[in-house]
Structure 1
Amino acid sequence: MEDVDKNIELKINEISKKLKAIRLSKGYTSYETFAFENELNRVQYWRIESGKNITLKTLIKVLDIHKISLKDFFEDL
């Protein structure tokens, strides 16, 4: 089970890093500014980019903000 958990954590970190890269590519150098301008809780968004708390609901909301489909997001992960 430990290997499974470790693999899950690695995948969550990949998702977090990709979300941060997308934010930066859109010109948002601050996660706080991105969260504020898109009506997201800034602490919750920080947790997402830190790989600490990602719910599907929030992931879909963030991808909708960026106009990215789930398919496109996960295509290269």
Structure 2
Amino acid sequence: MRSQPQNQNKTNAIEVQPEGQYHVVSDTRTIVSLIALIPILALLGTLGYQKYRVFVRRKRIALLEKIWLLDVNNKTH
């Protein structure tokens, strides 16, 4: 057997993976991030829609109040 030098450079080491196996660590992190992101986006979407509906309702109420006040003023004058 050959003796190996003591100062072997380990930066030249190459990992050989059997065919058909993939490095899935980064894929797993991506999937976990997406799974965590979906409920957050759903919550933000729901809250945004509720705020939009409140805004539209207040705008309609303000318009109806203006119309009501205009009708009352026109009938009294």
TM-score over 0.5 for the pair: no
Q: TM-score range by the shorter chain?
A: 0.3 to 0.5
TM-score normalized by structure 1?
0.35
TM-score, normalising length: structure 2: 0.35
Instruction: Give the number of the structure whose alpha-carbon radius of gyration is greater.
Output: 2
